[in-house]
């Protein structure tokens, strides 16, 4: 049985309504997936749940869909994970955002760190942020996620900490002597710090200690900056989230 395509739209979703999709989504449905009139599609917007739809018209740059019924209600994971991730070069950041989205991160903030080699020029910042958010949307489409994680503007570690509330504070560091706690008590919020390719500086690790971050190791292996979020988020979802 052919899998029904699942696509994101920013439009409001309501049963028994008509919706004109954007040129980009329309192109994907018609020219990539080769859907035709009467084809089935599922739509979500991160707010109103997920709806079953039927293509009723195809124009050159626009597909019209009739929303038939809601098939999933709005909802978010009870486990809130705020990830601060050191900015990295090339496509490493793209990969980390994609996999973090698949594994249920709530909010992801790229971080400027002492050992980080990436410094984004203001002229490039908006385009880069738009690119990262598109990756998060695409990963949500693929993974069946009903919400979209927030991808924030790059920030310093201090600003990141100030913008996130109380919860379990974890800083990943090779050689860290602490372990993931088996329980997190009444807190359902986790603030997770992962460094860039060269890791955190000693001053940054001490900064974390002074703010009650547990300095957590990942065993005898040193993980790449784009691999560490996959390992850490998988552990967190297993211990406290929905992987059990």
Map out the domains of the chain as residue ranges: 6-72, 80-240
Instruction: State the pLDDT at residue 63.
Output: 92
What are the DSSP E strand ranges found in the chain? 6-8, 18-20, 40-44, 50-58, 63-72, 80-86, 107-112, 150-151, 155-156, 168-172, 189-194, 214-216
Per-residue pLDDT at 78: 84
For 80-240, give the CATH class.
alpha beta
Look up the CATH superfamily of 6-72. Hypothetical PUA domain-like; domain 1 (2.40.240.20)
Q: Which residues of the chain have pLDDT under 70?
A: 1, 183-187
Q: Return the pLDDT at 194.
A: 97
CA angle 241, 112, 163 (to 5 degrees): 50
Q: Which two tokens stand for residue 121?
A: 């020029």
pLDDT score, position 186: 54
Residue 192: the pLDDT is 97
Q: What is the pLDDT of residues 95-108, one digit of tens each?
A: 999 999 999 999 99
Please answer whether residues 110 and 85 qualify as being in contact, where contact means their C-beta atoms are separated by less than 8 angstroms: yes
- What are the structure tokens assigned to 62, written together? 């626009």
Query: Which pTM does this prediction carry?
Result: 0.91
Cβ-based burial of 94 (10 A; exposed 0-12, middle 13-18, buried ≥19): middle
| pLDDT for the residue numbered 1 | 58
Give per-residue pLDDT as tens, 136-162: 999 999 999 999 999 999 999 999 998
Question: How far is Cα 68 from Cα 65, in angstroms, rounded to an integer?
Answer: 9
Residue 40: strand pairing partners: 54
Please tell me whether residue 143 adopts helix, strand or coil conformation.
helix
């Amino acid at each position: 049985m052919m899998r029904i395509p699942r696509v994101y739209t920013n439009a409001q979703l309501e049963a028994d309504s008509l919706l004109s999709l954007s040129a980009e989504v329309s192109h994907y449905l018609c020219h990539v997936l080769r859907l035709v009139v009467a084809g089935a599609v599922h739509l979500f917007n991160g707010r109103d749940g997920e709806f079953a739809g039927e293509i009723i018209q195809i124009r050159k740059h626009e597909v019209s869909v009739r929303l038939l019924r809601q098939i999933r209600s709005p909802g978010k994971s009870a486990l809130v994970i705020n990830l601060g991730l050191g900015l990295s070069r090339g496509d490493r950041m793209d990969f980390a955002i994609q996999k973090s989205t698949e594994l249920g991160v709530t909010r992801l903030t790229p971080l400027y760190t002492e050992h980080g080699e990436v410094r984004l020029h203001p002229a490039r910042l908006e385009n880069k942020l738009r690119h990262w958010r598109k990756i998060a949307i695409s990963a949500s489409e693929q993974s069946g996620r009903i919400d979209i994680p927030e991808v924030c503007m790059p920030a310093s570690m201090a600003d990141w900490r100030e913008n996130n509330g109380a919860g379990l504070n974890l800083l990943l560091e090779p050689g860290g002597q602490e372990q993931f706690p088996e329980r997190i008590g009444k807190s359902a919020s986790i603030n997770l710090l992962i460094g860039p390719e060269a890791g955190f500086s000693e001053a940054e690790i001490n900064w974390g200690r002074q703010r009650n971050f547990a300095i957590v190791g990942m065993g005898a292996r040193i993980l790449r900056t784009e691999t560490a979020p996959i390992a850490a988020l998988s552990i967190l979802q297993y211990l406290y989230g929905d992987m059990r």
